[in-house]
Homo-oligomer: A and B are copies of this chain.
Amino acid sequence: METHDHGLFAEIAERGAARAATDDHQWVRGMLRFESALATAQAELGLVPAPAAADVASVVDDLDHDLDGIDPDSLGAAAAAGGNPVIPLVQRLRTLLSDESARHVHQGATSQDALDTAAMLVARDATSAVLGALAAAGDVTAALTRTHRRTPTIGRTLMQQAVPTTFGLKAASWLRGLDGAYRRLARVRENLPVQLGGPVGSRGGAGASALRLGELVAAHLELAAAPPWHTDRLPVADLAGALGSCCGAVGKVAGDVVLLAQQEVGEVREEAPGRGGSSSMAHKQNPVAAIAARASARRAPALVAHLLGCMEQEHERAAGAWHAEWLPLRDLLRTSGSAAGWLADCLDHLVVDADAMARHLPDPVPALDLEANDVLIDAALDDHDRLAR
């Protein structure tokens, strides 16, 4: 039965490139690319005949350009028999190869090798989208920091007006959060590992080349080489933690925008043409982007908890905890992309009202320590400039 999924809520809750980067086709592509890289690496080590590997690589390359021949829904349906979609995918791949080549596909590998590697490839593309959005949000925030370096505004603690500060310093604090989250995620992204273990994690059949084989497969896929991690889920936990931090940093900024945009405060507003109206109140101007960023960001903690809770995986492959990772990992990548993307959009359309800020200052305005203000701001801006991207 066909199910129409997610489009209705996608623009609010799963906006941006991370969604497409994690869709079924990308997972299928990832699994196929694993099989190709494996055969190629095995051929390089003399473990598989070179023509068979070339054949696999060629067929996978064709499929990579046109996945029409492989329907995710039928793979999914067939997955019920064995518990994962790799088994029917490999069967399908074999039908596209000569008998001799088919014999060498997936040689020494296990379903989890293909699926975990696909997850990392999908995560790499999706985290690129998240990082891109974080960087965009950071750049606008850095510009706000510069522009409002010395714009006085009231600091607020415990949701009460406290003593004055500058909007530049407030923006610098946002910037530190966004850049810190960027750095954490970028580091995790650089270390996303290939999975290669074979049926029980022993890389049996590769002999003395066992490490070398992993390195070659990793190199072909531009992933990090690593020992098998079938039931050692630190790579998933790393992703979860870094994405959780991203959403936390995004949620903080989006929350502040929502608070500052209250009419009674009125220190910022979103001005995006054609956005922010209400079905019943024509005069309203809702900060839709900040709200959607916040809504997307707040899905993260539970997803992180779920993925961490899946770390207790039995023996050489888990009976459920592994399968329970797939959709939540996808959801976490998507919601992080959506959160960061909406925040970038929000900040891009943010109008800052320095006059409103001035109205909330005590009279007389106490002197600010502008030297301290400037060194903290400069440090944040320097740090932002140093972000390698």
Asked if A12 contacts B80 (CB within 8 A), the reply is yes
A14-B327 in contact given A8-B76, A199-B162, A258-B159 (Cβ < 8 Å): yes
Asked if A176 contacts B291 (CB within 8 A), the reply is no
Asked if B314 contacts A177 (CB within 8 A), the reply is no
Complex formed: what's the CA distance from A305 to B375 in Å? 34
A 59-105 contacts with B by CB, 8 A: 72-73, 75-77, 79-87, 90
A 253-280 contacts with B by CB, 8 A: 254-256, 258-259, 261-265, 274-280
Stoichiometry, as copies per complex, reads: 4
A302-B324 in contact given A8-B24, A231-B252 (Cβ < 8 Å): no
Asked if B315 contacts A327 (CB within 8 A), the reply is no
- Chain B residue numbers with a CB within 8 Å of A10 are 3, 73, 76
Interchain residue pairs A-B with the least CB separation, the first 8: A155-B200, A248-B311, A241-B241, A305-B305, A157-B317, A294-B320, A7-B73, A210-B372
A323 is contacted by which of B75, B173, B244, B291 (Cβ under 8 Å)?
B291
Is A219 interfacial (CB-CB < 8 Å)? no
Is A51 interfacial (CB-CB < 8 Å)? no
Q: Which residue of B lies closest to A324 (CB)?
A: B295
- Chain B residue numbers with a CB within 8 Å of A328 are 299, 302
Complex formed: what's the CA distance from A170 to B285 in Å? 22
- Chain B residue numbers with a CB within 8 Å of A156 are 200, 314-317
Complex formed: what's the CA distance from A8 to B291 in Å? 31
A312 is contacted by which of B11, B169, B298 (Cβ under 8 Å)?
B298
- Chain B residue numbers with a CB within 8 Å of A303 are 302
Is A45 interfacial (CB-CB < 8 Å)? no
- Chain B residue numbers with a CB within 8 Å of A305 are 301-302, 304-305
- Chain B residue numbers with a CB within 8 Å of A206 are 369, 372
A202 is contacted by which of B11, B165, B316 (Cβ under 8 Å)?
B165
Please tell me which stretch of A106-114, A130-138, A140-148, A347-355 contacts chain B, meaning at least 4 of its Cβ atoms lie within 8 angstroms of it.
A106-114
- Chain B residue numbers with a CB within 8 Å of A375 are 208, 210-211
Number of interface residues of A (CB under 8 A): 164
Is A238 interfacial (CB-CB < 8 Å)? yes
CB distance from A236 to the nearest CB of B (A): 9
CB distance from A78 to the nearest CB of B (A): 8
Complex formed: what's the CA distance from A252 to B79 in Å? 24
Complex formed: what's the CA distance from A163 to B174 in Å? 33
Asked if A207 contacts B157 (CB within 8 A), the reply is no
Complex formed: what's the CA distance from A79 to B316 in Å? 33
Q: Which residue of B lies closest to A325 (CB)?
A: B295
Is A358 interfacial (CB-CB < 8 Å)? no
Asked if B198 contacts A280 (CB within 8 A), the reply is yes
- Chain B residue numbers with a CB within 8 Å of A124 are none
Complex formed: what's the CA distance from A168 to B58 in Å? 39
A81 is contacted by which of B288, B318, B326, B373 (Cβ under 8 Å)?
B288
- Chain B residue numbers with a CB within 8 Å of A262 are 159-160, 262, 264-265
Asked if B227 contacts A380 (CB within 8 A), the reply is yes
Query: Beyond the given A157-B281, A176-B227, A208-B372, could you list 6 further A-B residue pairs with CB under 8 A, ordered by the A residue number?
Result: A82-B278, A157-B199, A169-B201, A180-B232, A241-B241, A298-B320
